[in-house]
Each structure stands twice: as C-alpha cells, then as structure tokens.
C-alpha cells in the first residue's frame, strides 16, 4: 500500500474510535450519587478536601448525618444549605469557614481524626 492510503486508513480509524468513545461516554454516564463523595471547602487557611464517604461509613468514622446536618428531622431527608437559615446579616452570624472549623475541629479534638492543621488543610 501507498503511504497516502495507509495514512487515510489511520485517520479514518482514529475518527471512528473517537466517535465511538464519545457515544459510549455519553450513553453510559454514571448515576450521580445521592450523597457527595468528596467536597472541597475553600478557605484562607488552605483548602480542605472533605471525604464525606469516609466520615459517614461504618468502616470510617461512622458519624451520623444529623451530627453535622442539624436541620435533619427524619432519616433520608436532604440537608438544607446553611445559608437558608443562617443569614449573614453582618452582625452575629458566624462566617462559613469559622462555623465549619468550629464544628470539624471539635470532633477532631475529641479523637475523631487528625489534629494537625496540615493533615486537612492543603496549603
């Protein structure tokens, strides 16, 4: 075969594989999990990658949903965004990073996880 013909076959094969890959990616999309696996909290002390699954699974820390999401009344309810109840009026409302830090650090200080800042905060 000529080089031109071989090159044309290679380009056609690459195009076919690209189309098949895009179709498979779009057609067989994974189901979005009900609960987030990991959440990135942005803050000035360094971003924190919170592993939701690790904290709530029995093989991890085994923390109940209501321990962090205090607005849950029934098991299976979805938590509300903090800002729905806690309005930042500029006066007594805690800032979001301060509230998370207070809540997270209290469990970590009780022996529920790392206590060294750099183990959670990515500088």
Task: Write down the pLDDT at residue 78.
Answer: 78
Task: Write down the pLDDT at residue 65.
Answer: 80
pLDDT grade, residue 10 (50/70/90)? very high
Known binding positions for heme c: 52, 55, 65, 68-70, 85-86, 104, 107-108, 117, 120-121
Residues 6+ apart with CB under 8 A from 113: 61, 107, 120
Same domain, 65 and 95: yes
Q: Are the C-beta atoms of residues 75 and 69 closer than 8 Å to each other? A: no
Task: Write down the pLDDT at residue 95.
Answer: 75
Task: Write down the pLDDT at residue 110.
Answer: 82
Mean pLDDT of the chain: 81
**Range from 47-56, 83-92, 93-102 carrying the lowest mean pLDDT:** 83-92
Where residue 92 sits, what CATH number does that domain have? 3.90.10.10
Query: Among 97, 78, 96, which residue's Cα sits nearest to residue 87?
Result: 96
Known binding positions: 52, 55, 65, 68-70, 85-86, 104, 107-108, 117, 120-121
Q: Are the C-beta atoms of residues 48 and 122 closer than 8 Å to each other? A: yes
Instruction: Tell me which residue range forms the domain holding 24.
Output: 1-29
Same domain, 42 and 68: yes
Query: Among 106, 5, 113, which residue's Cα sits nearest to residue 62?
Result: 113
Number of domains in the chain: 2
Torsion (CA) 106, 35, 38, 113 in degrees, nearest 10: 30
């Amino acid at each position: 075969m000529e080089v031109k013909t071989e090159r044309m076959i290679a380009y056609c094969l690459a195009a076919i594989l690209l189309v098949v890959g895009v179709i498979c990616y779009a057609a067989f999309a994974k189901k979005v999990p009900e609960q987030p696996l990991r959440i990135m909290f942005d803050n000035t002390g360094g971003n924190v990658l919170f592993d939701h699954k690790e904290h709530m699974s029995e093989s991890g820390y085994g923390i109940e949903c209501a321990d962090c999401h205090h607005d849950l009344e029934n098991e299976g309810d979805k938590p509300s965004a903090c800002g729905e109840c806690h309005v930042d009026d500029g006066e007594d409302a805690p800032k979001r990073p301060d509230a998370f830090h207070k809540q997270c650090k209290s469990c970590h200080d009780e022996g529920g996880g790392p206590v060294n800042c750099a183990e959670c905060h990515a500088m």
